[in-house]
Amino acid sequence: MSFFMNQAGNQSVNMQNMAMAEQELEMVSDLFNRIVSSCHQKCIPKTYIEGDLNKGEAVCIDRCVAKFFEVNKSVGTKLQQMSGAGLPM
């Protein structure tokens, strides 16, 4: 059964599921845009010499994205621990 169909399966869209999917898409798009902006600033010079990324730029982008996800995961875990313990955030 589709994520968007209700229990009756009559092809009508469940508005709550649609709103959740739209919110998730916004969050993923925001995350992507923040990664692109941050890693582009750190790894790509302001003046382009070549049309493609060179090896150093590509490695920098790979590391930057990996670190971004690692930090994002660590912060999320810490926030969950704090909220579970009733600590102020």
Q: Dump pLDDT digits (tens) for 59-68.
A: 999 999 999 9
Tell me the C-alpha distance between 35 and 63, whole Å: 11
User: Is residue 14's pLDDT more than 50?
Assistant: yes
Report for 6-10, 17-21, 30-34: range of highest mean pLDDT: 30-34
- CA distances, 66 to each of 48, 72, 73 (Å): 24, 10, 11
Tell me the C-alpha distance between 24 and 26, whole Å: 5
* H or E segment and range at residue 56: helix 55-84
